[in-house]
Copies of this chain bind each other. A is one copy, B any other.
Amino acid sequence: MSEPLVVGLSAVIVAVTDETPRVLAVRRPGAPGAPEGWGLPSGPLDPERDRTLELALRSWVRAQTGLELGYVEQLYTFGDRERRTAGPWDGPREISIAYLALVREGAAPGPAGATWLDVYDLFPWEDWRRGGPPGVDPVVAPAAARGVGPAGGPSRTARRERADIAFGLGGAAWDGDRVLDRYELLYETRAVAEALRDAGGGSRPTAGTGRALALDHRRILASALGRLRGKLRYRPVAFELLPPLFTLSQLQRTVEALAGLRLHQQNFRRLVEQGGLVEGTGKIETRTGGRPAELFRFRREVLRERPAPGVGLPGRRRRRSADGAA
């Protein structure tokens, strides 16, 4: 019942600065030859000291990066044998309990060895704010749809179907939440660097598939982004990333950054304002250019008024025109 097993905690710490979602990365020790040394902050669970898993996480994140985490939520527990990198290596099996944490912009970058990475450098195909990412859509989606099995075989057909759903091909709608599905398809079809690394193969990753992280950390991050996008819809998580007072544009840009979408400004305003999510303070923010904006704050009372308060995002309704001729 208790074999050699190591339990660790990983943290996906997200902030949004300058309309860019960022994730905190640390340089991984070990793996000295590898050119890519970045990974998620990880730490042990000390059963002696930490009463709960979440406290353990907060404690070593504080020690390791100086950050005091606010919003923290458990994400997923990763424990597949293939987690470890590169081929058959017989160290102890490692299980990692991943957490998602949100911090306000301007949080200190912490000690040396930690940086904020642009999330969309790791997932270029997820950012649709300026239309489909240039050059990515025509490359990445087909890469995910092409199979590794025999052409025309059942596994190929099934993967094709999955790719259509994940990437919104062949009449399917794009669902922003399916970040993990998309990454996993790219991994399975050996389009991303990690897949080649783990297989020990020497070929080059498909262009436009973003930069890699250590171990399965990009997969963990994909889970986190998908979860976060989903949660935007029904929990007021966006406010965890903003200062106490903010303009509606700031709020909208933050949501857009996470969702990877542009939103209709007037409707967004109506939704959050009439939805009771925010309330105006009288104060005025003197903007860089244009008319000054009112400063708003989050209305906590909305939690008792509405069952699932979140910002309005498209993609939960039927496709506008489903001319799905594959």
Which of B47, B80, B172 lies in contact with A3, CB distance below 8 A? B47
Given contacts A81-B52, A305-B172, A315-B307, contact A47 B4 (CB under 8 A): yes
A selection of 8 A-B contacts at a CB cut-off of 8 Å is A1-B44, A3-B48, A51-B81, A53-B77, A171-B304, A173-B306, A173-B307, A305-B322
Nearest B residue (CB) for A4: B47
CB-defined contacts of A6 to chain B, threshold 8 Å? 1-2
List residues of A whose CB falls within 8 A of some B CB.
1-8, 44-48, 51-53, 74, 76-77, 79-82, 92-93, 95, 97, 161, 164-165, 170-175, 177, 234, 275, 303-308, 315-316, 318-319, 322, 324
Given contacts A3-B46, A5-B47, A44-B1, contact A316 B305 (CB under 8 A): no
Query: Is there an interface contact between B46 and A234, defined as CB atoms closer than 8 Å?
Result: no
Query: Is there an interface contact between A51 and B80, defined as CB atoms closer than 8 Å?
Result: yes
Q: Number of copies of this chain in the oligomer?
A: 2
* Bound Cα distance from A170 to B47, whole angstroms: 41
**Central interface residue in A8, A93, A174, by most chain B CB within 10 Å:** A93
* Bound Cα distance from A305 to B164, whole angstroms: 10
Which of B1, B53, B165, B171 lies in contact with A79, CB distance below 8 A? B53
Which of B48, B172, B275, B305 lies in contact with A173, CB distance below 8 A? B305
Nearest B residue (CB) for A93: B47
CB-defined contacts of A324 to chain B, threshold 8 Å? 304-305
Query: Is there an interface contact between A97 and B77, defined as CB atoms closer than 8 Å?
Result: yes
* Bound Cα distance from A304 to B316, whole angstroms: 13
CB-defined contacts of A8 to chain B, threshold 8 Å? 1
Please give the distance in Å from A2's CB to the nearest CB on chain B: 5
CB-defined contacts of A304 to chain B, threshold 8 Å? 161, 164-165, 170-172, 324
Considering the complex of A and B, which 9 residue pairs feature the smallest CB-CB distances, nearest first? A175-B307, A47-B93, A172-B304, A1-B44, A52-B80, A53-B79, A77-B77, A3-B47, A307-B315
CB-defined contacts of A95 to chain B, threshold 8 Å? 7, 45, 53
* Bound Cα distance from A305 to B320, whole angstroms: 10
Query: Is there an interface contact between B318 and A308, defined as CB atoms closer than 8 Å?
Result: no
Nearest B residue (CB) for A300: B161
* Bound Cα distance from A92 to B303, whole angstroms: 39
A-B contact sample (15 more), CB < 8 A, given A3-B48, A173-B307, A308-B316 = A1-B8, A2-B5, A4-B47, A5-B7, A5-B47, A47-B81, A52-B79, A52-B80, A53-B95, A74-B76, A77-B97, A172-B304, A275-B318, A305-B319, A305-B322
Query: Is there an interface contact between A316 and B307, defined as CB atoms closer than 8 Å?
Result: yes
